[in-house]
Amino acid sequence: MPTPALPPQGAPDRSRRWRRVRRAAALPLAALVLSGCTVPGFGATPGDTTSSQSAYHLWQGFSIGAVIVGGITVGLMAWAVVRYRRRGDHIPVQHQYHLPLEVFYTVMPILIVFGLFAATLVVENKETSNPKTNVTINVNAFQWGWQFIYPGTNALVYGQTTQSPIMEMPVNTNVHVNLTSTDVIHGFYVHAFNFSRYALPGVVNQFTFRAQNTGTFFGQCTQLCGLYHSLMWFRVKVVPAAQYAQWISTFNNPADAAAAAAAIKTTNEELATGVASKASYTKFGR
Amino acid sequence: MTDVLDPPIHIEHHDGGHEEHHGATGILNWLTSTDHKVIGMSYTVTSVIMMVIGGAFAEIIRAQLATPNGSLVSLAQYNELFTMHGSVMIYLFAGPFAFGALANIIVPIQIGAPDMAFPRLNALSYWLYLTGSITMLSGFFVAGGAANFGWVAYAPLSNSLNTPGSGADLWIGGLLLTGFSAIFTGVNLCATIFYLRAPGMTMFRMPIFTWNMLVTAILILLAFPVLTAGLIMLYCDRHFGTHIFSVAGGGVPVLWQHIFWFWGHPEVYILALPFFGMVTEVIAVFSRKPVFGYKGMVFATLTIAALSLGVWAHHMFTTGVVLLPFFSIMSLLIAVPTGIKMFNWIGTMWKGQVWFSTAMLMSIGFLFTFLVGGLTGIYLASPPLDFFTHDTYFVVAHFHSIVMALVLGAMSGLYYWGPKITGYLLNERLGKAQFWFLFIGIQVFTFPIYLLGLYGMPRRVAVYPANPQWKALNDLSTLGAVLIGVSTVIFVVNIVVSWKKYPAGDNPWDAQTLEWFTTSPPPHHNFYRLPQIRSERPTWDHNHPEHRTLHHGEHDVDPQVPESEGEHV
């Protein structure tokens, strides 16, 4: 009858197993080195803003950790299940505690966690900082669409559900976004920017994008907001600065100026309903 | 801990234990019984029915998402379906199954108690739960349909302006009733575990399952009253003109999220801890070893509970109004005690005799699935990573890895403890078929939607842009859901096929804890006699006096030659 409880027998057996392990590990390692150490994206994409790329690198770091820890754990699990499968009625040694081992697998995760937290802090502070900006866009979410107001100009974009209003912004410029909602909670999410933020009624959330590539990117409401939530789409169009200025100037006519002024007035009235005393409330300016 | 070698059988006659129970039988017994086993069975049947109902909703949801412009259900019906899927699974299945069904049946027997501390309160709990379930589900039959604001009911979407129908009120009412049911069960479990343990059953001789249920009960008492209060506020906002959660009257919508998640995150552990306990028991029994690092396991459970009270706002990172670093580090730290548990489970199997019964397969499946869900949870504890995965399918995939792991744990518990309460085993061949369909189904269902989330698909959408990549991943995920559905059918078939066919005997698994010392099913007050309780596994000690627990550094001795007793006391 086999006795799985006994420790592995002798050195030759152990070294043979070790050789097998080394051979198995060599292949993926060699592949990694040969590929010029290009770290894979683990499903995520770098995105098109500076902070989306920091978040992406953080993602890669977390993923490498997850693959290593997960790989070791699955390996141990598989080893335990295969190696110690039942092979008879023999009752194994009834060991219950191994204090050094237990301390090891308590302390190691704590160290890993603080490493992850440090990396998180660096990226988070970068992402939530609001550097000096040249362009401000007031984004107002509503059931079921978006309104983009460009304070200081007459530009105003408004669109519902799959009309997909376009938020135009210049490339390589800090663009400050003031985000709010006039009814329920919505989610402002642009996949290419690796970013989302709630549009909360009564609160103006602020953040800054610095797009690095031009292009048109898909955006969508991510927080359930009622019947047409699935269709509450928008687009972000990143254009060269000159083209952006030219686009803004197309609104320089009395009709658009009046429309923008009226829209801002209505929105401010909606926003102000009952929240004028709130410190977090800031009026949409022009 | 003390060990007693070669213990003499110490028989304790329970007062009145030999009396036959002359009570009502049949339906009247079910309606009037205060026996924890009868109530527990009612809970089991009701909650498994809820699982099937919630699962049916899930299948419809996945069928709708198989095509970008699915027209199986309307946008409005879709919102009702995912709301009720989440609500049924979380409020009416996972929780009640854990602390209503298995804990109710097993905890008193496991600690050698004749019943729960408050049998009538226990019966009240069940009837509140059943009433609450019916109340919540009846929303489908009123004008305007069932609740449709998601299982989290974020204000102000859930106010009477945005969701006027009475389906929402029935949802609130149903949740209030099941909430009270949970609170009463929590009181009952605490009192039972603190006051009704058999002689010799000290706290550190309680099986891990009972420990986890105690911690769960404490968490219930801390968290559920907050939800109850929140629901009453929401109801007042809807009907009595208060403005607690609406901007218009000076209220704060985000307050609802704080209240909800202050309940909601401990709730995650209220759901998970019982299943951790089940899996711990199953892995120890089917490895024929004691739980590795028993005390570490208990402290890990306590740590998880403590941390779980300070992490609620990690559900709110993208609100922009919470302190990110605090909630980030607290959430990350939960990985530590959870990791300890994971390694303890592996340590329990290490050098054991792993017997691949259906219960054990389900538990091994749990380990893998829970590991995947746990690792992806670590990403979500980091605000910058949460910013780009929040409210996408990545989050859906993460928590479905977790809750589907719990379903594996639940199945493990049913196959393991079912024979104790019914007296009959389930068919192992069908059980293994069920396991493979369920396990593979879960992975095929979750892995594509992790990617979907990273590719940018938001959750809670009935239609999506016709992106071929999204469609392919959705189709794969739907296939996984079908496999899970097949596994559920196999489970039902198994119950029918095995009905009273394979008598279990008292201890079919050579198990370790006290419940396996009594008959299957146990008599009215559970025990005619009790063994000496000198460790956390009295039945094992009784059946295998020569294979006692060894401490670190101790070596096995020849089982024929008992060591002197004094050495280990």
Stronger pLDDT, B338 or B29, i.e. the higher one: B338
B319 pLDDT exceeds 80?
Answer: yes
Q: Once rounded to an integer, what is the mean pLDDT over residues A241-268?
A: 86
Residues B357-407: tens digit of each pLDDT: 999 999 999 999 999 999 999 999 999 999 989 999 999 999 999 999 999
CB contacts of A5 in chain B (<8 Å) are 351
CB contacts of A203 in chain B (<8 Å) are 254, 320-321
Give yes or no: residues A208 and A229 share one domain. yes
Assigned token pair, B470: 């999204």
Min Cα separation B197/chain A (Å): 24
SS3 B142: coil
Across A88-92, B56-60, B197-201, B551-555, least confident range: B551-555
Give yes or no: residues A199 and A177 share one domain. yes
Give yes or no: residues A123 and A222 share one domain. no
Residues B207-248: tens digit of each pLDDT: 999 999 999 999 999 999 999 999 999 999 999 989 999 888
Give yes or no: residues A183 and A206 share one domain. yes
Give yes or no: residues B436 and B547 share one domain. no
Say which DSSP state A211 is in. B
> A6 in a domain, yes or no?
no
Residues B431-481: tens digit of each pLDDT: 999 999 999 999 999 999 999 999 999 999 999 998 899 999 999 999 999
SS3 content of chain A, % helix, strand, coil (to 5): 45, 25, 35
Any A CB within 8 A of B383 CB: yes
Report the sign of the C-alpha dihedral through residues B16, B18, B22, B23, in that order. Answer: positive
How many C-alpha atoms does A218 have within 13 Å on its Cβ side?
A: 16
Instruction: Report the alpha-carbon distance of residue A194 to residue A196 in Å, rounded.
Output: 7
* Backbone φ, ψ for residue B346 (5° rounding): -65, -40
> A39 in a domain, yes or no?
yes
CB contacts of A189 in chain B (<8 Å) are 391-392, 456, 458
Contact predicate B284/B290, CB 8 Å? yes
Q: Once rounded to an integer, what is the mean pLDDT over residues B473-502?
A: 94
Report pLDDT for A272.
62
Instruction: Tell me if A124 and B379 make a contact (CB, 8 A cut-off).
Output: no
Give yes or no: residues B395 and B537 share one domain. no
> A8 in a domain, yes or no?
no
B554: pLDDT confidence band, cut at 50, 70 and 90? low
From the list B150, B372, B385, the residue facing A55 with the nearest CB is B385
User: How many domains in chain B?
Assistant: 2
CB contacts of B465 in chain A (<8 Å) are 218, 233
**CA of A182: which chain B residue's CA is closest?**
B247
Give yes or no: residues B6 and B86 share one domain. no
A282: pLDDT confidence band, cut at 50, 70 and 90? very low
Give yes or no: residues A188 and A260 share one domain. yes
Q: Which of A128, A147, A167 is the last residue of a domain?
A: A128
CATH code of the domain in which B91 resides = 1.20.210.10
SS3 A171: coil
Domain that residue B461 falls in: 26-527
How many CB atoms sit inside 10 A of residue A270's CB?
Answer: 17
Q: Which of A128, A156, A175 is the last residue of a domain?
A: A128
* Backbone φ, ψ for residue B417 (5° rounding): -95, -15
B253: pLDDT confidence band, cut at 50, 70 and 90? very high
CATH code of the domain in which A62 resides = 1.10.287
Report pLDDT for B550.
76
Give yes or no: residues A140 and A111 share one domain. no
State the DSSP H helix or E strand holding residue B333, giving kind and residue range, or none if neither.
helix B324-333
Q: Once rounded to an integer, what is the mean pLDDT over residues B48-54?
A: 94
Assigned token pair, B280: 């711990």
Give yes or no: residues B522 and B538 share one domain. no
* Backbone φ, ψ for residue B323 (5° rounding): -80, 105
Give yes or no: residues A243 and A140 share one domain. yes
* Backbone φ, ψ for residue B538 (5° rounding): -65, -35
Give yes or no: residues A157 and A123 share one domain. no
B321 pLDDT exceeds 70?
Answer: yes
From the list B154, B324, B379, the residue facing A185 with the nearest CB is B154
How many C-alpha atoms does B545 have within 13 Å on its Cβ side?
A: 15
Instruction: Report the alpha-carbon distance of residue B538 to residue A19 in Å, rounded.
Output: 44
B21: pLDDT confidence band, cut at 50, 70 and 90? low
Report pLDDT for A34.
52
- Predicted ipTM beyond 0.85: yes
Q: Once rounded to an integer, what is the mean pLDDT over residues B349-354?
A: 92
Give yes or no: residues B489 and B547 share one domain. no
Give yes or no: residues B424 and B291 share one domain. yes
- H helices present in B504-554, as ranges: 538-543
Give yes or no: residues B451 and B540 share one domain. no
CB contacts of A43 in chain B (<8 Å) are 450-451, 454-455
Residues A58-110: tens digit of each pLDDT: 999 999 999 999 999 999 999 999 999 988 888 888 888 889 999 999 999 99
Q: Which of A111, A128, A145 is the last residue of a domain?
A: A128
> A279 in a domain, yes or no?
no
Give yes or no: residues B394 and B543 share one domain. no
Give yes or no: residues B475 and B361 share one domain. yes
Give yes or no: residues A31 and A100 share one domain. yes
How many C-alpha atoms does B13 have within 13 Å on its Cβ side?
A: 4
User: How many domains in chain A?
Assistant: 2
Give yes or no: residues B344 and B389 share one domain. yes
Assigned token pair, B46: 């009701």
Give yes or no: residues A160 and A119 share one domain. no
Residues A152-200: tens digit of each pLDDT: 888 899 888 878 899 999 999 999 999 999 889 999 999 999 999 999 9
Domain that residue A52 falls in: 14-128
- H helices present in B334-467, as ranges: 335-349, 358-380, 383-389, 393-422, 428-454
Q: How many residues does chain B have?
A: 569
Min Cα separation B393/chain A (Å): 10
A285: pLDDT confidence band, cut at 50, 70 and 90? very low
Give yes or no: residues A241 and A142 share one domain. yes
B19 pLDDT exceeds 50?
Answer: no
Give yes or no: residues B532 and B514 share one domain. no
